[in-house]
């Protein structure tokens, strides 16, 4: 124990992510559920408002909507899928991108300050949806046997190696992808938020409650570092939404490709 520091300080940990229900007796209605529902409303309102009075000379809202849509369509779907069929997946990729983005950025919004995807169940659901879509796309394009052949039997590999390659490719392409996709998003949101809690709560405690001038000075530095981490976390929140959707598009492109 450091002299002058009370033992009453409890460092943040996983238990801080177990939020109480917003309304007593409604156990499932917690802050992540509220934030997730609000982001759906915001996304629907934004794209409905941007498209309902489309004009040759766009309004500011229409311009913002077209900018967001074109970013996903051209920079993610078209580049990653690389097929004439990419347009049919743009609505899903656009909705997925903005849903993850807004739920991540919610962690930086005063009064909310909680990343929905720091609860792993949300990341699992997003990854399972992607898993179902890219496997369904591949099966529809190639048939069940043809799809699993493309996913488990790489072109150019000698037949004598196939008994080794088939289970490896099956595990890698069919089983591991949704797990790695979800855990990457969850781990970044969880780690970033808990790191921010450590710096902000620790800095506030040392500054206001330590009873030590030296530790109060350290607390000021810690809070300033917390601000820097908050800026870095905002960048991570955006890039993780982008990475998740880019990988989703790549998996779809791999599923509908003629050969690997």
pLDDT in tens, 82-132: 767 899 999 999 999 999 999 999 988 888 889 999 999 999 999 999 999
Local confidence band at 2 (pLDDT 50, 70, 90 cut-offs) = very low
CA–CA gap between residue 218 and residue 222 (Å, rounded): 6
Percent of the chain topping pLDDT 90: 49
Please give the pLDDT value at position 9: 65
Q: Is the pLDDT of residue 27 over 90?
A: no
Q: Band of the pLDDT at 3, cuts 50, 70, 90?
A: very low
Count CB neighbours of 187 within 10 A. Answer: 15
Residues 183, 250: Cα–Cα separation, whole Å: 18
The more confidently predicted of residues 121 and 9 is 121
Helix (H) or strand (E) holding 18: none
Give one word for 83, left, alpha or beta, with left for phi > 0 and alpha for psi -120 to 50.
beta
pLDDT tens-digit readout, 211-260 = 778 878 888 888 888 889 889 999 999 999 999 999 999 999 999 987 65
Taking the whole predicted model, whether its pTM rises above 0.75 is answered as: yes
Calpha distance 78→68 (Å, rounded): 14
Is a pLDDT exceeding 70 seen at residue 54? Answer: yes
């Amino acid at each position: 124990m450091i002299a002058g520091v009370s033992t009453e300080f409890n460092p943040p940990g996983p238990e801080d992510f177990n939020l109480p229900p917003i309304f007593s007796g409604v156990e499932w209605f917690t802050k992540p559920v509220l934030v997730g529902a609000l982001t759906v409303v915001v996304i629907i309102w934004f794209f409905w408002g941007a498209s309902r009075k489309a004009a040759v000379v766009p309004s500011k809202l229409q311009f913002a909507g077209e900018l967001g849509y074109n970013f996903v369509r051209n920079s993610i779907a078209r580049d990653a899928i690389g097929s004439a069929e990419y347009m049919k997946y743009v609505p899903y990729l656009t909705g997925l991108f903005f849903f993850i983005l807004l739920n991540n950025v919610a962690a930086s919004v005063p009064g909310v300050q909680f990343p929905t995807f720091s609860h792993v169940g949300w990341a699992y659901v997003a990854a399972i949806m992607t898993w179902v879509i890219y496997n369904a796309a591949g099966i529809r394009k190639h048939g069940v046997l043809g799809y699993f052949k493309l996913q488990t039997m790489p072109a150019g590999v000698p037949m004598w190696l196939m008994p080794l390659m088939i289970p490896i490719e099956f595990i890698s392409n069919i089983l591991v992808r949704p797990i790695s996709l979800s855990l990457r998003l969850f781990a970044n949101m969880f780690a970033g938020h808990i790191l921010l809690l450590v710096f902000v709560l620790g800095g506030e405690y040392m500054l206001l409650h330590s009873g030590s001038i030296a530790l109060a000075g350290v607390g000021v530095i810690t809070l300033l570092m917390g601000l820097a981490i908050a800026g870095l976390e905002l960048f991570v929140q955006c890039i993780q939404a982008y990475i998740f959707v880019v990988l989703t598009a790549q998996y779809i492109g791999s599923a509908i490709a003629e050969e690997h």
